[in-house]
Amino acid sequence: MSVPENKYLPPLVSMNKLRQHVDCKSSLNETNLNIGGYIRISTQKDSQLTSIENQKKYLREWADVNGYNISRFYIDMKSGAYTYLRNEMSQLREDIKNAKIRGIVSKEISRTSRDIMDILELKRSLADYGAFFLSIKEGYDSRTDDDEFLLVIHAGLAQKERKVTASRVKITQILKAKEGKTNVPSPAYGYRLSEDKQHITVDRETSKIYKLIIEKFLLGWGQLKICKWLNQQGIPAKRSEKWCTNSIKTILSNPVYLGITIYNATTLTRNSQGKQKRLVRPQEDWIIRENTHEPLISTEDYNKIQEIMKQRKEQDKKQWSCEKKYLLSGFLYCDVCNCKIFGYKTVSKDRITKTGEPYTFYSYVDQNRYGTCNTKTKYWNMKRLDAIVLGEIKNFFKDTSLIEERIKAKQYLYNRDLSYEKEKLEIIKGQIEKIDNAIRKQQEAYENDAISISEYKTRMNELRESKKKAANEIQGFEERLKNSDAPQEIFFKIKDKVMSMIENLENLDHETLDLLLKKLVKRILVKQDYTIFIEYTFDE
């Protein structure tokens, strides 16, 4: 809502873009106001879901008795998370901003949040738009709580209740962990919860898959190869249909398969905005219990797997550097199945470099990950394929008319009459004149004792800062106008630069080449015999 026009406006209003204040108290005597009913439950258990309908009836009855109209219910299924983390609460704020509702009501303050600062922020953000917050249990109305004393008291009690509840749950979980019981709602792959939900037991079906993964890894298979094999066999992962390397890595490194339970190893903390961050606790705080369930792997095999993973990681770091990158990653596609082709490296067990290191081959590979291609895995030498693609691009652009046509198609980016800069320059100069007039008026007001010295200093500092900013903008526009070239000169400059880059493609650094390819190439179809077909970005 903008400030209404008036014949006389003080500088503080005329010189600033201020929004008109709407006092939430103005709605105290209004009836049949449209408000939102806010409901939050912690879980999706049946008892909690039933609570939603009960709360709706409760809020509707209260609204009818007190002369309000609940136009919509906002329902979040979250624990005591901060309000900005809840989708429906975000929608509620948006509806307040757009004046669809004038306020919100909840059964109790703890339903909105269990954090003092979070509740205060909610109340104040509503008040910014003349809206209010009501809580039935506490009989709280934000319109009558000017100093927010009552809200702090109620919010403090809700926060204390949250801390006590969390502490009570934590103690219960620690006692369970010390007794060798589980606290996880979903056990690791290969296990399931016992009937009493207190322990984990071996899952007959998934444990067989776990043992197959271990067996193949010990035979020398990599994580990617295991993923590909599982997906081809149609074996679903724990949380999705397809396996990924991270899920394999988690299975290979998890000590739970030794029959060990580890609890209290990490903790979640929140910053002032309520964002969560997981941190590792000191190891002396960890609760470690052995023989809490049947192991699926021997200690010897587990340690062997960890050593293999460690060696492979160190080997990767040693043999791979940021200077060696796959130029065509993201562009290459198989001409048979249209699937992406990825960069790949192979370490030779036989060939040795002059420095005594194993020789490494870099290539592109169609891994046929999901078994959809009708051909076997295909490899292309990286250096050879890069050279073929760059050569094809250079040959394609021998016809300079293509470059000229492309540059002309974008001439609106550089062929301008600079009228915008000239017009903007005059506007800023006019602003400086207004600022100078405002400075003179402030000086006159101070000399006539119309304003105090502190008001004078504050306002003068604001005006001087505005004038300095405007002066810098004028300098920038004047430099732009002074150094501008004619459109025809710009065209030839751009053309010469692009042609020079294309003629020297093989000598460009990786970053420049990557940027150029993204501008020119949409994708590259490649056959097993190195035949390629390039789809350019301007073919459409």
Runs of H (alpha helix) within 281-418: 299-319, 382-396, 400-409
Cα–Cα distance between 445 and 442 in angstroms, integer? 5
Domain ranges (residues) in the chain: 11-162, 191-308, 419-483
191-308 and 11-162 share a CATH fold: no
The answer to whether domain 191-308 has CATH 1.10.3720.10 is: no
pLDDT tens by residue, the chain, 540 residues: 455 556 677 766 666 666 677 777 778 878 889 999 998 877 665 556 678 888 899 999 999 888 899 999 988 876 554 555 567 888 888 898 888 999 999 988 877 776 777 778 888 888 888 889 888 888 888 888 877 778 778 777 777 776 677 677 777 777 877 888 888 888 989 999 888 888 889 999 999 999 999 999 999 998 888 988 998 888 888 877 788 888 899 999 999 999 988 888 888 776 655 566 778 888 888 888 889 899 999 999 999 999 998 888 877 665 444 444 688 888 888 888 778 888 887 777 677 766 667 777 888 888 665 556 666 678 888 889 998 998 888 888 777 776 676 666 555 445 555 566 677 778 888 888 888 888 888 888 777 777 778 778 888 888 888 888 888 888 877 776 555 555 566 666 766 777 777 777 777 877 888 888 887 888 899 988 899 998 887 654
- The DSSP letter of residue 137 is T
CATH of domain 11-162: 3.40.50.1390
Q: Specify the DSSP element, H or E, that contains 101.
A: none
Task: Answer whether 129's CB lies under 8 Å from 103's CB.
Answer: no
CA distance 514 to 510: 6
> Following CA atoms 398, 400, 406, 409 in sequence, which dihedral angle do they give, to the nearest 10 degrees?
-170
Cα four-point dihedral sign 231, 236, 241, 246: negative
For tokens 């590979």, name the residue. 365
Residue 188: DSSP 8-state: P
Burial pattern 443-470, b for ≥16 Cβ within 10 A else e, equals eeebeeeebeeeebeebeebbeebbeeb
**Left (φ > 0), alpha (ψ -120 to 50) or beta: where does 252 sit?**
alpha
pTM of the full predicted structure? Answer: 0.44
